[in-house]
């Protein structure tokens, strides 16, 4: 059970980035709860424009904004830091100010990339108050957004929610990429020197709604599925769970040679959020099983539509 709210019940939710994998999950979860939901993409709400933020909030008058919208192309951000800052940094700041001025609650999704990502000797999960030090443009732009939310925050109802290794049904995701190559018999090599907690959009969406509807002090929260492993081990687990045979080789992050540095250690301590909700997010392997089942259901539904000539009747 989450804490009750003294600010009035949340009845209407605005979700930014609603076309993305997390945004879709939040919209669906909110609708399941019987909430009125407005899911907007960048075309409907360009957060880089303060006037647009004010206009949309005045028109829709939500009780809660869950800000999933972001430019999450990590390597793209490295090549275009000005755009990353406009969207992830200043855009989040604009939305935070508009929410504060109207007394609207806010949950802004952030990332493990705000940390330096070094393994360190302790290898303990990262807490909300641990020192930050992003190594990438993406991480720095998201950290600017975090700080803007906290600067604008009233005593209650404004939250930064850091997560990591997000995947979910529909669209591009790590399990789908691994399985596509494995089923085609293509060679697979996956980095084994990055460790984190795979986080299912369906579980993260429920946590965001629980937090946004709770009467909680403003601040930073970590939200990820329980447990941790390397990307290489996650790829093996994906193929095993899907019943697909694959020989998956190892490689280092340096060998992969991506433009933006990735954190080597992305394991988050989520105990603060677990105390608020009365339970942690499920284990990552349980989340993986449900993800694969949801993907199977999506493929089956698509096959039915194709068999009906592309209609839903």
What pairing do the DSSP bridges indicate for beta strands 195-196 and 229-230?
antiparallel
The span from the CA of 249 to the CA of 238, in Å, is: 14
Phi, psi for residue 223 in degrees, rounded to 5? -140, 115
Containing 148, the helix (H) or strand (E) segment is helix 137-152
Strands (E), the chain: 12-16, 36-40, 64-67, 105-111, 158-163, 166-167, 188-191, 195-196, 199-200, 219-222, 229-230, 248-251, 265-266
Q: Is 138 a catalytic residue?
A: yes
Q: Phi first, then psi: what are they for 306, rounded to 5°? A: -65, -35
How far apart are the C-alpha atoms of 223 and 280, rounded to whole Å?
Answer: 9
Q: Distance between CA 64 and CA 257 in Å, rounded?
A: 40
Partners of residue 15 on adjacent β-strands: 39, 66
From the list 71, 113, 115, 138, the catalytic residue is: 138
Indicate which residues carry an active-site annotation: 138
């Amino acid at each position: 059970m989450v804490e009750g709210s003294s600010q009035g019940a949340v009845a209407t939710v605005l979700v930014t980035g609603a076309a993305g994998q997390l945004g879709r999950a939040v919209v669906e979860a909110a609708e399941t709860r019987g909430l009125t939901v407005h899911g907007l993409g960048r075309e409907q709400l360009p957060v880089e424009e303060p006037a647009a933020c004010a206009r949309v909030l005045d028109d829709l008058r939500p009780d809660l904004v869950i800000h999933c919208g972001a430019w999450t192309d990590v390597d793209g951000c490295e090549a275009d830091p000005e755009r990353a800052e406009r969207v992830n940094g200043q855009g989040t700041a604009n939305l935070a100010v508009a929410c504060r001025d109207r007394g609207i609650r806010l949950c802004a999704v952030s990332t493990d990339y705000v940390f330096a990502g070094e393994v360190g000797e302790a290898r303990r999960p990262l807490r909300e108050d641990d020192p930050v030090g992003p190594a990438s443009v993406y991480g720095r732009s998201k950290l600017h957004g975090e700080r803007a939310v906290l600067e604008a925050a009233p005593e209650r109802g404004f939250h930064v929610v850091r997560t990591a290794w997000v995947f979910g049904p529909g669209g591009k995701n790590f399990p789908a990429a691994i399985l596509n190559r494995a089923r085609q018999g293509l060679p697979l090599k996956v980095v084994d020197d990055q460790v984190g907690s795979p986080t299912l959009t369906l579980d993260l969406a429920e946590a965001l709604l629980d937090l946004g509807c709770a009467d909680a002090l403003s601040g930073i929260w970590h939200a990820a599925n329980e447990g941790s492993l390397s990307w290489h081990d996650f790829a093996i687990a994906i193929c095993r769970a899907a019943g697909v045979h694959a020989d998956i080789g190892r490689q280092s992050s340096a060998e992969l040679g991506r433009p933006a540095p990735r954190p080597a250690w992305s394991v988050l301590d989520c105990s603060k959020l677990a105390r608020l909700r009365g339970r942690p997010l499920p284990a990552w392997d349980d989340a993986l099983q449900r993800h694969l089942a949801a993907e199977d259901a999506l493929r089956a539904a698509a096959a039915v539509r194709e068999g009906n000539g592309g209609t839903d009747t």
